[in-house]
Structure 1
Amino acid sequence: MRLLLQRVTEASVSVEGRIVGRTGPGLLALVCAMQGDDEDVAERMAARMAKLRIFRDEAGRMNRAITDIGGGVLAVSQFTLAADTRSGNRPGFSSAAAPEDGRRLYAHFVAALRGLGLPVETGIFGAEMQVSLINDGPVTIWLDSAERA
């Protein structure tokens, strides 16, 4: 599973001009299930994200997790995080999970975040979405389950 996390002061996602999800201070999580991912991977990635210390403490250092600050999450499915750009000019997406698996794992990831006590709003899986955000910092972090032993 791949996550692109952006620390935000606010973020929203719209479908056909209607806002379907939003958050105030917290994280925008762009989420991509990869081939071979399962529910265990989704749960581990949710736990990693919840514990990631990328929010400022009283001294201004990145030393607090989203759970420490009471922040919210806007989770948006984005299969293009699986882009393979190693050759040619057109990215390939064959390493992304099949749509039915991606939908299931994205939903499981969201449920795992909620199970950790985080308020989570979402986009609509497979929809054409427009995402708006104010990146705080800016802070943008890449997490990939394949890069952790």
Structure 2
Amino acid sequence: MATRLRHNIRRATAALVIAAAGVLAAAPPAAAHTLDEAVRSGEGCTWASGSYTTLHSTRLTYGAEYYGTVYLLWHGGRGENCVVTLKGGATHGVSGYTEAVLRVQGGPTREEGERFSHYAAVNVAARGACVSYEGTIVHPTTLRPVSGGRPGWDNCG
């Protein structure tokens, strides 16, 4: 009987290890905890130098609850804008739908929206063009979406 119990415990432990490995392997790559980490990340703005200017930002809140902040950034040397939707408060570190959208007037629209734990980010060349941007975070338990940004064309240059 003790041998059978040990065998069942080993099988259950092996199943838990395999399940945990699957969850870790499926974790989204966007795992930066700060704006600077997201800017430098290969899954973020990809600006390894970290040289950028924050042009605009919008706190994403529902009532008094803070979900995160969406940022419009500019890298003058590269002539690129980047939008980072960085999770905060109760949404930080919790996998849930997070989106970043960047529109270039007369040019492309880039967007990224998936289940991320920390941020979503997109960048695009925009020298000499006006841009608009938006970020969305869906609360992981209430499933309430909150969006913000700037819908009108601005930061032309």
Q: TM-score w.r.t. structure 1 length?
A: 0.25
- Structure with greater proportional strand content: 2
- Structure with greater proportional helix content: 1
Q: TM-score w.r.t. structure 2 length?
A: 0.25
Rg larger in 1 or in 2?
Answer: 2
Structure number with higher relative contact order (C-alpha < 8 Å, ≥ 6 residues apart): 1
